[in-house]
């Protein structure tokens, strides 16, 4: 299983637009993508403009092929260009433990 952690800093004036777009992205990823098992949106307690995404995928194909090729991912990427204050960083890791 794959764990994907995305770190993003938003433009404060676009908070509502960001939350609408990323909430839609999470919901559609979970409901429409085979192999997307978890998609959490997390807000930093010390920096209200810093968000993390914590996503779990069943295998590489679920993330690299299916997730990234969806229309809703393309829509999110276009919104990200507007709402993010700086480029996002993505870490892809292997899930270890009982849930893996």
Judge whether 65 lies within some domain.
yes
The CATH number given to whatever domain includes residue 70 is 3.30.70.100
pLDDT per position as a tens digit, 44-100:
999 999 999 999 999 999 999 999 999 999 999 999 999 999 999 999 999 997 666
Domain that holds residue 81: 2-94
76 CB neighbour count, 10 Å cutoff? 19
pLDDT for 15: 98
Judge whether 100 lies within some domain.
no
Q: What is the 3-state secondary structure (H, E, C) of the chain?
A: CEEEEEEEEECHHHHHHHHHHHHHHHHHHHHHCCCEEEEEEEECCCCCCEEEEEEEECCHHHHHHHHHHCHHHHHHHHHHHHHECCCCEEEEEECCCCCC
Whole-model pTM: value is: 0.91
pLDDT for 97: 78
pLDDT per position as a tens digit, 9-40:
999 999 999 999 999 999 999 999 999 999 99
């Amino acid at each position: 299983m794959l764990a994907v952690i995305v770190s993003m800093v938003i433009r404060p004036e676009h908070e509502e637009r960001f939350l609408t777009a990323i909430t839609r992205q999470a919901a559609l990823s979970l409901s429409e993508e085979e192999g997307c098992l978890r998609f959490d949106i997390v807000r930093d307690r010390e920096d209200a403009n810093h968000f993390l995404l914590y996503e779990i995928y069943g295998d590489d194909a679920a993330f690299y092929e299916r997730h990234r090729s969806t229309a809703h991912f393309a829509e999110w990427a276009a919104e990200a260009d507007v709402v993010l204050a700086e480029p996002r960083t993505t870490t892809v890791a292997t899930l270890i433990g009982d849930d893996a």
